[in-house]
Structure 1
Amino acid sequence: MKTIKGPAVFLAQFAGSEAPFNTLDGMCQWASELGYKGIQIPTWESGLIDIEKAAESQMYCDELKGKVNSYGLEITELSTHLQGQLVAVNPAYDVMFDGFAPEQFKNNPKARTEWAIDFVKKSGTASSRLGLKSHASFSGALLWHTVYPWPQRPNGLVDLGFKELAKRWLPILNHFDEQGVDICYELHPGEDLHDGVSFERFLEATGNHKRANILYDPSHFVLQQLDYLTFIDYYHERIKAFHVKDAEFNTSGKQGVYGGYSDWKERAGRFRSLGDGQVDFSGIFSKLTTYGCDVWAVMEWECCIKSSNQGAREGAPFIQKHIIEAAERSFDDFAGGETDEKLLKGILGI
């Protein structure tokens, strides 16, 4: 067994244009004062990290890491959720996802994809220079628009979709392997990797690549009505990152898991601040600890009701309360000592 590290916080939902959220120093001081011990850094926030410099300069990475450490914090992972999304975009989503790309790559899907692949690779190099072992990302999606198919999917479409997805990610996975870093895909509706079955299809298409792993976030499984505890039994060996995010699913006679195009607060399934939803975090922390998952417990705050300030204040103590100090010995190990075969035979009467 292994004690989960934390509490930590994903900075993406808090970064902004006003102090203290517009600089790394400001966010580090803010997180430290709230009781967090780690930060997950979104790479698209250039005020927090310059990936071009981080990929080229060990000195820059040492200074960045030293700055974070000076506040009593550690960097848990870097995140390329937005850039990872751009590795694979179905043309139906080009206009909306262009907003995640630099201006010079908009209206040019091929160039946008090439830029995204290069950026994620550089983030892998940066992760290695920072001494990190895991990296958070999205898979992107070529098939999502067919997830509930009508008209029916033509035979072979899913296989071809995962073959193409693997083709785009394999150079990245191989680069991360050279850097000694795992890519942890957040399994998320809207991505081609959104549940266990889709993750297995991707693994198969990549030849069970050892760097293809999972960022476990139970909130997305609540919204899909997936058994998020049994999921850990199946995939614990691939869980290398952990978002602590709450959610709820309220049964309704008017809408289900698809949400009926409602705003977040009107949906049957919606994200909540930690402790306000239905996720069994005691069960999750118990399973992850039992299986020895070497992860940081990173709060990702997304709530349609509670303010981000309150959510951030409550997050660190909530996570700390759930972290289990892994047992170093069995509670009933009264006998102990070496195996005495003669004694054992006497007990059995043989």
Structure 2
Amino acid sequence: MNQPTHISPLPFDPSFEAIPEDEAETTRELVETMRSITEKTSHDYGHAVRSVHAKSHGLLDAELTVLDGLSPELAQGLFARPRTYAVQMRLSTNPGDVLADSVSTPRGLAIKISGVEGARLPGSEGQTSQDFVMINAPAFTAPTPKAFLKNLKLLAKTTDRAPTGKKVLSAVLRGAEKVVEAVGGESATLKSLGGHPETHILGETFYTCVPVLYGRYFAKLSIVPISPELTALTDAPLDVNGHPDALRDAVNAFFASNAAEWEVRVQLATDIDKMPVEDASVQWPEDESPYVAVARLRANRQPAWTDDRSRSIDDGLLFSPWNGIAEHRPLGGVMRSRKPAYEMSSEYRGAFNKCPVHR
């Protein structure tokens, strides 16, 4: 994508964040709800998994190369100068229990970029990595932590239910989602509960959904497939019925014979009313500020998922938007509530599995 020539990015102002009086209580309930999910699943499995995005489908080594010649507003934070970083990628789906892929739910991508210099965010002092946690939607399913808590409680109610019932529910919800889309709409709630289309995960575009600081500005980030082998998989149907690990098998099959390349793109905020910080459900208008490429991400042919990699990454690593540098500080209530929730999840997993979780 070409660099912007017409936008005027808005410098971040602390007044753009507004913390509700009851946010601490809402966050406490969020943490409790996520802990209840983890306790249920760890009891079932005899092994603790993440409270959300428990099931991984691809665990990849990659390289991120910052593009040369970025304009000053784009050359911010870890993208300030051309450089290549080692990256670990984790592809996942969002429930807190490990389900057959016929329960089709939204997808996630977390990346950990190593060797990033800069002042650290609270709680990540002494580290040198930068994490970005993304989903395959340009906006979050809920505007605020309180609304997110309602959605998470719905998800928690489905945790530990009979897998066969979840498969049936997913099929019903996919049918309902197709009806909604046929009349020009899209339901984040239907998709989050199991109505996501049965498509190949490697064709997805992933977004931070919620903003982060981008040096002196603020922005959303996306990771977009650009190599022909990947773009061919966008919206490509994938048969998941009778194949409990169909997504994982498809990712392994792809990387057995293909490399992959994505662009890392940035959407700089230009208008606080149209591009709010505290309402995570707002899709920022791309006609006002398009996503612009700042880096390339490349993964070579490799075993994309193995038991050893799962032990190392699924059990041994924390991916959190709060693990990073101050120039990419997460913004808004949904991001603020994530910090203690992610910390609880990693501490619980480390204690239950007797395996330290690293940043």
Q: TM-score scaled to structure 2, two decimals?
A: 0.24
* More relative contact order, 1 or 2 (CA 8 Å, 6+ apart): 2
More helix by share: 1
Larger Rg: 1
Q: TM-score scaled to structure 1, two decimals?
A: 0.25
